[in-house]
Amino acid sequence: MVNDVLGREQFELREVPIPELTQGQALVRVRLLNIHSGTRARMANGMTKLGDTDRSNYACADVVQSRDQTFREGDVIACQAGWQDYQIVSSEEASVGYGPASELVKALNGTNSQWNYVFRPAMVKMWPPEVLMEMFGTSGMTAYFGMRECGPLMPRDRVAVAGTTGSVGSIAAQIARMRHSSRRHSPRGSMSTPMASAGL
Ligand SMILES: NC(=O)c1ccc[n+]([C@@H]2O[C@H](COP(=O)([O-])OP(=O)(O)OC[C@H]3O[C@@H](n4cnc5c(N)ncnc54)[C@H](OP(=O)(O)O)[C@@H]3O)[C@@H](O)[C@H]2O)c1
């Protein structure tokens, strides 16, 4: 996060009281926050205002208190959160910074956002938040469904993946490997052609 243009002096740690929940809201404690490519794009475009935290980050969180019908105390959920320890969430809310969720996503998640859903308890027992959010979260789903869009992938296919040092590209390349396709990894390359491929 800290680089030539962004320094620690641009950030400030603030302690503020946690507001009382109203009907339809839940209080979550953030376990892990993903400052992902979309967040960085919002910061670069000035969509994150000075003095604000960016509320669009993908997060894994524990439900601490709930007055929301979808989230129960003790649930581990995916949500969007600012750069903070606690966040008020609501299953009624649309996503922050992204388009509206489809009807299918709403029905599956029981929320109005593609980013808000309860992780299955068995998954939470088996995997730490890093895996829930990466392989089973947005990066893994993007890579998996992206590869499916190009598929079916056959053993003879050659797959070229750009940006294989990144979260989506690294998983896409591993999916191709699992399918026994011969790979062409391209650590850097045009992000507008993330999966230029021959024969798919
Ligand atoms: N992650 C998600 O959940 C998600 C979901 C939907 C869509 N997307 C989209 O998928 C794309 C990749 O996202 P990501 O999360 O994998 O990002 P990431 O982890 O930041 O990875 C970015 C990749 O792009 C490469 N790259 C950066 N600048 C480049 C340049 N100028 N020329 C060539 N390669 C460059 C990086 O290579 P170096 O390591 O060499 O810098 C890295 O491999 C983005 O367009 C993102 O918006 C991501």
| pTM of the model as a whole | 0.81
Cβ 167 vs Cβ 135: under 8 Å: no
Q: What is the pLDDT of residues 112-157, one digit of tens each?
A: 999 999 999 999 999 999 999 999 988 999 999 998 887 778 888 8
Q: Is the dihedral of CA 148, 114, 80, 110 positive or negative?
A: negative
The CATH code belonging to domain 8-126 is 3.90.180.10
CA separation for the pair 138, 142 (Å, rounded): 6
**Worst-scoring range by mean pLDDT, 37-51, 95-109, 175-189?**
175-189
Q: Give nearest CA residue, ligand 1 atom 4.
A: 139
pLDDT band at 200 (very low <50, low <70, confident <90, very high): very low
CA separation for the pair 21, 68 (Å, rounded): 10
Instruction: State phi, psi for 46 to the nearest 5 degrees.
Output: 75, 15
Expressed in angstroms and rounded, the spacing between residue 112 Cα and the centre of ligand 1 is: 27
Q: What is the DSSP letter of 31?
A: E
pLDDT band at 183 (very low <50, low <70, confident <90, very high): low
Ligand 1 atom index nearest CA of 163 = 43
Expressed in angstroms and rounded, the spacing between residue 191 Cα and the centre of ligand 1 is: 7
